[in-house]
């Protein structure tokens, strides 16, 4: 087995040294690499280019990064004397350039393993010529052509990092908040690395390793599109060798994303911002909010206490939750809070507040949404926002026993007007009312409030 691998490996290197031609899918007017062989002095660089590929992406790789490295822009950097092969993968085809690095200061006698035993290729070549029409052509020593062995549980074959590439990549989003990735087994591979990123250029990509040919990535951000690529590895001559990654595929993650905006923050921001897109009416960026005369809680504190519990409960019920803040010491304007929800394409936004009416006898909860004639972004979601306002209030008072004040329709709320998603404000209760202030500050009542809001969300999404 070990010897077989060696033979195949040497053969491929020789093939490459012999011509540096595209290894797969050669076509008329087909892609070309700018140079098929170059010699560089140690420390020098040269940029290789792929021609006739239009806008297709190229994945660059080197057989031996100790000799020369290559950037994803094709810039080859000579590291030390010796020889290596640079590979450009385009749409599953590999194009190669042999790189010889010389070191003027050192005795330049380093050899590649390929040079030592050139005779080893001959048997394979002979075999190809010998193939008679009656016989099924079978060349198990040739890497990358062993697909006939798919039925075998442990595929025989040698991984050729220059040529082989994972194929058959599929992505499914049937499970919420997750992506299931599958690919075809690559003969000779001992394991795989799945790389995934929300950017097409695979910026900040994360990776997972597996010996299987499928993996579930979870939890992922709902409504976010992820790009996925897979590469294979095997141990060869005591070293781990990697194939180039296959072309990326992408899919959007399914699920329901709820944005919770805990109203206010530690310090008010008295700067001004437009009350809605295109509006000349300016309003304070973040007002200071009210406070409990008896509980001694500031509204921004109560709002966050309830919001964090609400997050936990909604997550338990299978929603994904986005928080505009999880700390008091932030500076996020009301407009910015709406933009956070817009950008994440959340399904709904609930802004948690408590009210501070001047009359201390006033008690109860109410919800706020835009009007039917809203002149801003909010207009297109009027119906949905109204329904959300209705359901949340209905189940909130049902769970807490609080007085139902009203659904207030207004176009004066910056955080609602800038919202491109269904959005409401919940005023949980009156902090100037002694009973309600102390109730809202208690764990027991907080639990009831959280249950009520969550039930309202369930009802909105028809999960009740
Ligand atoms: Zn408030």
**96-108 confidence digits (pLDDT tens):** 778 888 888 775 4
> For residue 178, what is the DSSP state?
-
Band of pLDDT at residue 283, cut at 50, 70 and 90: very high
Helical ranges in 32-102 per DSSP H: none
Instruction: Tell me what the mean pLDDT of segment 428-448 comes to.
Output: 98
Neighbours of 401 (CB within 10 A): 10
Residues in contact with 245: Cβ distance below 8 Å, sequence separation at least 6, in sequence order: 59, 89, 165, 166, 195, 229, 230, 231
How far is residue 31's CA from residue 52's CA, in Å, rounded to a whole number?
5
pLDDT value at 296 more than 90: yes
In the prediction, which pLDDT does 99 show?
Answer: 85
Distance between Cα 418 and ligand 1 center (Å): 17
Read off the pTM: 0.67
Distance between Cα 299 and ligand 1 center (Å): 7
Q: Provide the residues around ligand 1 (an ion) whose CB is within 5 A.
A: 263, 289, 353
- Convert the pLDDT of each residue in 249-275 to its tens digit: 999 999 999 999 999 999 999 999 999
In the prediction, which pLDDT does 124 show?
Answer: 34
* Residue of 176, 166, 186 lying closest to 231 (CA atoms): 166
- Convert the pLDDT of each residue in 143-163 to its tens digit: 433 343 343 343 457 889 889
How far is residue 297's CA from residue 354's CA, in Å, rounded to a whole number?
11
Chain position carrying tokens 């026993």:
401
pLDDT value at 32 more than 60: yes
Please state which CATH class domain 164-252 belongs to: mainly beta
Instruction: Tell me what the mean pLDDT of segment 30-45 comes to.
Output: 87
For residue 338, the surrounding DSSP H or E stretch is helix 334-343
In the prediction, which pLDDT does 243 show?
Answer: 95
Band of pLDDT at residue 292, cut at 50, 70 and 90: very high
In the prediction, which pLDDT does 127 show?
Answer: 34
Token readout for 55 is: 């806008």
In the prediction, which pLDDT does 107 show?
Answer: 52
Residue ranges covered by each domain of the chain: 2-127, 164-252, 257-460
Between the alpha carbon of residue 379 and those of residues 261, 284, 302, 344, 423, the distances in Å are 20, 22, 30, 19, 11
Neighbours of 80 (CB within 10 A): 15
- Convert the pLDDT of each residue in 241-253 to its tens digit: 999 999 999 999 9
In the prediction, which pLDDT does 6 show?
Answer: 58
* Residue of 196, 192, 176 lying closest to 184 (CA atoms): 192
* Residue of 360, 378, 321 lying closest to 344 (CA atoms): 321
How far is residue 61's CA from residue 397's CA, in Å, rounded to a whole number?
62
Distance between Cα 265 and ligand 1 center (Å): 10
For residue 136, report the phi and psi dihedrals to the nearest 5 degrees.
-75, 125
Distance between Cα 330 and ligand 1 center (Å): 16
Distance between Cα 319 and ligand 1 center (Å): 25
Band of pLDDT at residue 420, cut at 50, 70 and 90: very high
Beta bridge partners of 30: none
pLDDT value at 169 more than 70: yes
Distance between Cα 427 and ligand 1 center (Å): 7
- In this chain, the answer to whether the domains covering 2-127 and 257-460 adopt an identical fold is no
Distance between Cα 289 and ligand 1 center (Å): 5
How far is residue 454's CA from residue 464's CA, in Å, rounded to a whole number?
10
Token readout for 425 is: 């404000």
Distance between Cα 354 and ligand 1 center (Å): 5
Lowest mean pLDDT among 11-15, 44-48, 305-309, 378-382: 11-15
Contact 77, 45 (CB under 8 A): yes
pLDDT value at 186 more than 70: yes
Neighbours of 400 (CB within 10 A): 24
> For residue 379, what is the DSSP state?
G
Distance between Cα 408 and ligand 1 center (Å): 14
Residues in contact with 124: Cβ distance below 8 Å, sequence separation at least 6, in sequence order: 7, 11, 139, 141, 142
Distance between Cα 456 and ligand 1 center (Å): 20
Instruction: Tell me what the mean pLDDT of segment 111-133 comes to.
Output: 36
Residues in contact with 389: Cβ distance below 8 Å, sequence separation at least 6, in sequence order: 367, 368, 369, 407, 424
How far is residue 308's CA from residue 290's CA, in Å, rounded to a whole number?
19
CA angle 142, 146, 151 (to 5 degrees): 155
> For residue 157, what is the DSSP state?
-
Distance between Cα 325 and ligand 1 center (Å): 14
How far is residue 62's CA from residue 88's CA, in Å, rounded to a whole number?
9
Residues in contact with 347: Cβ distance below 8 Å, sequence separation at least 6, in sequence order: 256, 257, 258, 421, 422, 461
Instruction: Tell me what the mean pLDDT of segment 203-216 comes to.
Output: 96
| CATH-assigned architecture of domain 2-127 | Sandwich (2.60)
How far is residue 278's CA from residue 247's CA, in Å, rounded to a whole number?
43
CATH of domain 257-460: 3.40.630.40
Distance between Cα 353 and ligand 1 center (Å): 4
Residue 219, preceding peptide bond in cis (omega within 30° of 0): yes
């Amino acid at each position: 087995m070990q010897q077989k691998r060696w033979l195949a490996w040497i053969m491929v290197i020789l093939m490459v040294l012999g011509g540096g031609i595209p290894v797969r899918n050669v076509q008329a007017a087909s892609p070309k690499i700018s140079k098929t062989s170059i010699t560089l002095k140690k420390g020098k660089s040269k940029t290789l280019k792929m021609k006739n590929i239009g806008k297709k992406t190229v994945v660059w790789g080197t057989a031996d990064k100790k000799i020369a490295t290559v950037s994803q822009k094709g810039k080859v950097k000579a590291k030390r004397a010796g020889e290596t092969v640079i590979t450009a993968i385009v749409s599953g085809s590999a194009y190669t350039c042999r790189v010889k690095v010389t070191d003027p200061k050192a005795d330049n006698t380093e050899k590649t393993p390929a040079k030592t035993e050139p005779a080893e290729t001959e048997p394979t070549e002979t075999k190809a010529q010998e193939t008679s029409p009656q016989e099924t052509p079978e060349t198990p020593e040739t890497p990358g052509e062993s697909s006939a062995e798919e039925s075998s549980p442990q595929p025989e074959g040698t991984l050729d990092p220059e040529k082989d590439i994972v194929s058959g990549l599929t992505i499914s989003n049937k499970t919420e908040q997750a992506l299931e990735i599958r690919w075809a087994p690559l003969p000779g591979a001992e394991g795989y690395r799945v790389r995934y990123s929300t950017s097409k250029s695979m910026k900040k990509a994360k990776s997972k390793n597996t010996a299987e040919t499928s993996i579930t990535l979870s939890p992922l951000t709902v409504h976010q599109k992820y790009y996925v690529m897979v590469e294979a590895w095997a141990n060869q001559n005591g070293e781990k060798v990697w194939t180039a990654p296959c072309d990326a595929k992408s899919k959007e993650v399914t699920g329901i994303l709820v944005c919770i905006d805990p109203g206010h923050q530690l310090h008010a921001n008295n700067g001004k911002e437009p009350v809605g897109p295109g509006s000349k009416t300016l309003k304070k960026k973040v007002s200071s909010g009210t406070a409990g005369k008896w509980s001694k809680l500031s509204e921004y504190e109560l709002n966050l206490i309830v919001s964090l519990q609400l997050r936990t409960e909604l997550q338990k019920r299978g929603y994904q939750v986005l928080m505009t803040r999880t700390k008091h010491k932030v500076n996020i304007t009301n407009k910015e809070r709406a933009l956070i929800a817009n950008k994440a394409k959340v399904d709904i936004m609930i802004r948690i507040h408590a009210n501070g009416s001047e009359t201390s006898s006033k008690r109860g909860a109410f919800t706020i949404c835009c009007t039917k004639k809203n002149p801003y972004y909010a207009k297109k979601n009027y119906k949905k926002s109204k329904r959300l306002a209705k359901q949340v209030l209905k189940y909130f008072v049902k769970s807490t026993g609080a007085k139902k004040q009203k659904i207030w329709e207004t176009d004066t709320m910056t955080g609602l007007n800038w919202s491109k998603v269904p959005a409401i404000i919940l005023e949980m209760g009156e902090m100037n009312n002694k009973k309600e202030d102390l109730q809202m500050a208690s764990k027991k009542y907080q639990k009831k409030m959280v249950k009520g809001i969550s039930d309202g969300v369930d009802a909105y999404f028809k999960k009740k």
